[in-house]
Structure 1
């Protein structure tokens, strides 16, 4: 990856659910970009549009207006099958509840995206990913034999197995205790800073957001604030200002 390149760009993006007087505008003219090799957190009050932003950015949902680009690919101009191929080949996902297959070992779970693409992952790639996320000794275990933090490490390795241009995290530490969450966040930050992986993470947790290079704040479907040097206290102050009118 080259410095200064853009991994993700949203230009004039709006998303409307429904029609007529009952229509809900979940995103309203979003302009947002993420540099390659950076870690961006997205925060906002409940109903601010965080999840919709992630879904539209990742090609999981179509925008109503505007354009979404991952690298040079105009995601918003692709049909459903093309978006599915893009997600399979160029995008990684890490979810709150891991979504590991209980009957498979950790190694087999990591390989799932490659299998879905009709190919087998090189065992050396699995071993390398396991070393990168700290689960070398756990590859033969099934999810029930792993702690929450270990399962999320497997999920991160799975997200990386296709060599994605960008990884999207949807509350990736939401189901973890404090210690495990800190370990997973440190891992994600290291992947960005040491390996130039690009990560966009939706979170409600100021501690999680403070691990990012930059935090973007949403309210009523619009970007209303940013913090390029986030701290827990700074994120809390900004969130408090956004949430006060809703109290």
Structure 2
């Protein structure tokens, strides 16, 4: 199959269970999902619907109980923990709500961290180019405490992209930002997808954030129960209201 048409992420009949016996919880229930390359997908759902578990299983942070996960051509669900760690290091980028920048390092050094952890050689031209793309080229000598939340999240985005990952996962990436900074970061993420062909999967509780995606998946009780393409804020709110009213 042509590499261009291999999905960035594929999940087939994925289930995830925690605990045993009467205390067993089924967090994901036979989830099927395709995320095409160069797309921006948001995942929403009520509390306890399985959003975080979906992200963790998709990214190889947690083992599935049943089913298969592929990142590109790589069968994540067939790897041991060491192999999954190498996959995450080389092929996956992460952006977190709390930024997870190292306080003692400059912005440039934080961007370089994934390359250094992989034992690679840092190319300062690549770092400057990424910093320029995300709008922090003037902040490369600053440390996290010298930056705003929005600036820190832009640095985190550059760090997530420095290894040229097949897919970037965002766990509430705008949850800690004020409204203005959140909109700027979301616009940047959308631009990275549509201009640079990046692939992003983002878990969020914010309808405004979700409306920046190309596609929104709605989870309830560990299953994908609804989907919206070309989403609007009002449309996302209506779907979430229906899920809440149904007691999902």
Looking at structure 2, the residues matched to 132 and 216 of structure 1 have their Cα atoms a distance apart, in angstroms, of: 28
C-alpha distance in 2 between matches for 1:179 and 1:70: 33
Q: Which ranges in structure 1 are unaligned for 5 or more consecutive residues? A: none
Which residue in 2 is equivalent to 1:205? 206
Once the two structures are TM-superposed, the CA of residue 3 in structure 1 deviates from its matched residue by 5.1
- Match in the other structure for 1:10: 11
Question: Is 1:169 the counterpart of 2:176 in the alignment?
Answer: no
Residue in 1 aligned with 2:235?
234
The separation in 1 between residues aligned to 2:115 and 2:192, in whole angstroms, is 20
Map of 2:83 onto structure 1: 82
Task: Verify the 8 A CA contact 1:111 1:120 in the aligned structure 2.
Answer: no
| 1:128 to 2:129 alignment | yes
Q: For each residue in 1:4-37, what CA deviation from the matched residue of structure 2 results, as whole angstroms up to 9, or x when unmatched?
A: 4310000000000011111000000000010000
- Equivalents in 1 of 2:111, 2:98: separation in Å? 15
Alpha-carbon displacement from aligned partner over 1:86-120 (angstroms, at most 9, x marks no partner): 00000000000000001000000000001110123
For the 8 Å contact 1:111–1:121, the answer to whether it is kept is yes
SS of 2:184 mapped into structure 1: helix
Count of residues paired in the alignment = 247
Counterpart CA distance in 1 for 2:6 and 2:63 is 24
Shift of 1:171: 0.1
Tell whether the 8 Å contact from 1:107 to 1:140 is kept in structure 2 after alignment.
yes
Paired residues for 1:179-198 under 5 Å: 179-198=180-199
Determine the C-alpha separation between the residues in 1 that align with 2:54 and 2:189. 20
* Residue 57 of structure 1: aligned partner: 58
CA contact (8 A) 1:102 1:143 kept: yes
* Counterpart for residue 68 of structure 1: 69
Q: Partner of 1:246: helix, strand, or coil?
A: coil
TM-score between both structures, scaled by the size of structure 1: 0.98
**Structure 2 residues not aligned, in runs of 5+:** none
CA contact (8 A) 2:6 2:73 kept: no
SS at structure 2 position matched to 1:55: helix
**Matched residue of 1:176: which SS?**
coil
CA distance in 1, matches of 2:102, 2:117: 14
